[in-house]
Amino acid sequence: MSVSPRSSSSTDVVASHPGSTANPSASFPHPVFLMVNSLERGGSERQFVELAGSLKRSGTPVRLGCIQKAGPFIDDLARSGFDDWPEFGLGNSLYGLESVRCRWRLMNHLREFHIAVAHSFDFYVNLTLVPAAKLARVPVIGSQRQLGDLLTRAQNRAQFAMFRWCERVVCNSKAAADLLLCAGLKSSKLVVIGNGLPAAAFAPAAPALERPKGDLRVGMIARMNIHAKNHIVLLRAAARMRRKFPDVEYLLVGDGPLRADLEKEAANLEVRNQVRFLGDRSDIRSILASLDVSVIPSASESLSNVMLESMAAGVPVLATSVGGNIELGSDGRAVVVPLNDEQALSSNLERLLSDGKLRRELASRARQFAERNFSLERIREQYCELYRNMISS
């Protein structure tokens, strides 16, 4: 299936699109190697874990690798039956002697286990696995799970060079694929496959927090490690709305080096008594069940896991008009506002908080869309189809 890019090019992006037909029972019978940077909490890491487990359950022989074997998702992999898998450390540099040795070990690993397809999941692994796979003569898939605007020019150049070596590059949104197409990557290399949601994402969950009768809750779920997540914009919107909605509670879920500054800013804006900083949480479904509105004010998103999970949980979404947010939120599935527009964010948040019918309509349309297009089984089959096409071409 082809998807027309938004660029002026007349060449379509070749895509395994979330709306295509899929056979949920199919698997890929040959060994696949999946590799990620680490198992810390994050969107790419979560998708790595979900896809690895789904492939294994479907009967696909899966082997895993990472650069840093650390993070809470290791336990999730263990529950899926992945107990013993190697770390391929780069040392202190992508280009040092240790990184050369790492790629050599990777090459031998791919050969030893007769890997049919190697699949990279993020920036550092693109630069590590792709050359190793080429040396091993194993078909390799690169991944672009963000828009690229958070990388330096040198990082973008290095990654783009790796993408030219790949048989395919998977993007999780059309927005990300369009940017690579505009940068000069061949359309024949580009494939769009969205993020997968496990069945549990659609199941009812008990709220993590008791709700005072009649009060409304707004939530933002994002790591506090980069300014691009735009927590500050939500805090400023809360300050604008303070007098009209003094009883609204704001839950900020996530942690990181920016947390202390955000807590100070909340105090400076005189909304600290309305804002609860919950830190890292593993019970995201229960957090979502505690919310009336989920806000994604990011400056950069390819395909937001939080937005998808909110939609699946039936929580109405207010998001910025960047990247894949537009694709997910169009046709009345979310309220989408201009980037860094505090007035637009606050006025539309007021509208959502004041209109229960609107919230229910948005949530219903969004949930149906997510269930129809982003189930983990459907996404897994799209990857299996891609793997099959790679070894048959």
Q: Which of these, 228, 237, 223, 231, lies nearest to 322 by C-alpha position? A: 228
CB burial of residue 273 (10 Å; 0-12, 13-18, 19+): exposed
Mean pLDDT, residues 216-244: 96
The total number of structural domains that make up the chain: 2
Residues 133, 214, single domain; the answer is no
Label residue 11 by pLDDT band (50, 70, 90).
very low
pLDDT at 286: 97
Q: What is the CATH number of the domain that holds 66?
A: 3.40.50.2000
Using the structure block, give the residue that is written with the tokens 């690169």.
142
Is residue 9's pLDDT more than 60? no
Mean pLDDT, residues 88-112: 92
Of the listed ranges 4-18, 68-82, 95-109, the one predicted with least confidence: 4-18
Residues 172, 240, single domain; the answer is no
pLDDT at 26: 67
Is residue 2's pLDDT more than 60? no
Residues 180, 214, single domain; the answer is no
Convert the pLDDT of each residue in 353-386 to its tens digit: 999 999 999 999 999 999 999 999 999 999 999 9
Q: Which of these, 288, 290, 249, lies nearest to 266 by C-alpha position? A: 249
Q: Are strands 117-120 and 32-36 parallel, antiparallel or unpaired?
A: parallel
Of the listed ranges 38-47, 281-290, 321-330, the one predicted with least confidence: 38-47
Containing domain of residue 128, as a range?
2-196+375-392
Mean pLDDT, residues 105-127: 97
**Integer Cα distance of 253 and 286 in angstroms:** 12
Residues 99, 12, single domain; the answer is yes
Residues 387, 349, single domain; the answer is no
Is residue 42's pLDDT more than 90? no
Residues 283, 385, single domain; the answer is no
Residues 128, 6, single domain; the answer is yes
Residues 184, 271, single domain; the answer is no
Residues 292, 181, single domain; the answer is no
Label residue 94 by pLDDT band (50, 70, 90).
confident
pLDDT at 92: 79
Residues 299, 212, single domain; the answer is yes
Label residue 51 by pLDDT band (50, 70, 90).
very high
Label residue 103 by pLDDT band (50, 70, 90).
very high
Computed over every residue of the chain, the mean pLDDT equals: 92
Convert the pLDDT of each residue in 169-222 to its tens digit: 999 999 999 999 999 999 999 999 999 999 999 999 999 998 777 789 999 999
Q: Are strands 140-144 and 62-66 parallel, antiparallel or unpaired?
A: unpaired
Q: Where are the alpha helices (DSSP H) in the chain?
A: 43-58, 73-79, 97-112, 123-136, 153-165, 174-183, 231-240, 259-268, 284-288, 305-312, 324-329, 342-354, 356-373, 376-392
Residues 12, 99, single domain; the answer is yes
Residues 222, 101, single domain; the answer is no
pLDDT at 118: 98
Q: Where are the alpha helices (DSSP H) in 3-72?
A: 43-58
